[in-house]
C-alpha cells in the first residue's frame, strides 16, 4: 500500500481527532501502526496539533552528552526549530453541562466528580467530545480494558459507562484520565 492523497487525508483527520496510531492503521488497512506513526512524523504532525496545542516551544536542548550506548554516533541533535504560533482561540469549553448530581450510587471511592475544581478547558472539551462516541456500555460490560467513567444519572435509564479503550492499568480512557486526575503535568517529555 502506498500513501495516496486520500489515505494521507484520512490519516491526518484521524490523527488530529485523537485516534491512536493503531486505530488509524486498522482503519486504513494494509499498514501497521508503525507505518502510521512513521508517516505522522514525516508529515511533521507528531504533535497532536489542531486545537489547543500548548506552545511548548524551545525546549531546552540540554547540551548533555549521552554516555548511553550509542549504536551509531549521531551527527548532531538538531533541536527542532519548533515554529509554534497559530493559536486559534480555543472554542468555548462546552457549556453543555446539565445538572450533574452525584454520580455513582453509594460507592465510597469516587475519584472523579469534577465541577469543584477547575479542569483545563481542553480536558473538558476532550471529554464531551469523547462522550459523543463513547460506547455506552453497561456495568456488566466493563472489563479491565474499558473506560469505567460513568455518565448520566444511575437513577435513570440515561446511565452508561464510557467504555472506550482504557489505558493499561488505568480505569479510564485517555480523555477521562485527564479530568480525573489533576497532576497531569508529567507529559510531553523528550525521551532518551
Partner DNA sequence: CCCTGATTCGC
Partner DNA sequence: GCGAATCAGG
Binding region for DNA (CB under 7 A): 1-3, 19-23, 31-35, 37-42, 46-47, 68, 71-72, 74, 165, 167-170, 186, 190-192
Q: How far is the CB of 55 from DNA (least distance, A)?
A: 16
Q: Where are the alpha helices (DSSP H) in 3-151?
A: 5-16, 21-28, 33-42, 121-132
Closest to DNA by CB, 93 or 165: 165
Q: How far is the CB of 115 from DNA (least distance, A)?
A: 24
Closest to DNA by CB, 48 or 100: 48
In eight-state DSSP terms, residue 22 is: H
Closest to DNA by CB, 42 or 133: 42
Closest to DNA by CB, 43 or 155: 43
Take residue 94 and report the three cell numbers written for it.
462546552
Q: How far is the CB of 58 from DNA (least distance, A)?
A: 15
DSSP 3-state of 34: helix
Q: How far is the CB of 191 from DNA (least distance, A)?
A: 4
How distant is the alpha carbon of residue 72 from its chain centre?
Answer: 33
The CA–CA distances, whole Å, from 154 to 49, 113, 131, 149 equal: 36, 14, 16, 12
Comparing CA positions, the residue from 46, 57, 42 lying closest to residue 21 is 46
Amino acid at each position: 500500500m502506498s500513501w495516496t492523497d486520500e489515505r494521507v487525508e484520512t490519516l491526518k483527520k484521524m490523527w488530529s481527532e485523537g485516534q491512536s496510531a493503531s486505530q488509524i492503521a486498522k482503519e486504513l488497512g494494509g499498514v501497521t501502526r508503525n507505518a502510521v506513526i512513521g508517516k505522522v512524523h514525516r508529515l511533521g504532525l507528531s504533535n497532536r496539533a489542531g486545537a489547543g496545542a500548548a506552545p511548548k516551544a524551545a525546549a531546552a536542548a540540554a547540551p548533555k552528552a549521552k554516555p548511553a550506548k550509542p549504536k551509531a554516533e549521531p551527527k548532531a541533535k538538531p533541536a527542532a526549530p519548533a515554529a509554534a504560533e497559530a493559536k486559534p482561540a480555543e472554542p468555548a469549553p462546552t457549556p453543555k453541562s446539565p445538572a450533574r448530581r452525584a454520580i455513582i450510587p453509594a460507592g465510597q471511592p469516587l475519584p472523579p466528580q469534577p465541577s469543584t475544581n477547575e479542569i483545563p478547558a481542553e480536558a473538558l472539551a476532550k471529554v464531551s467530545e469523547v462522550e459523543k462516541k463513547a460506547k455506552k456500555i453497561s456495568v456488566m460490560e466493563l472489563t479491565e480494558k474499558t473506560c469505567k467513567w460513568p455518565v448520566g444519572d444511575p437513577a435513570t435509564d440515561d446511565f452508561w459507562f464510557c467504555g472506550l479503550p482504557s489505558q493499561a492499568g488505568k480505569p479510564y480512557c485517555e480523555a477521562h484520565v485527564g479530568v480525573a486526575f489533576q497532576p497531569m503535568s508529567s507529559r510531553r517529555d523528550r525521551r532518551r
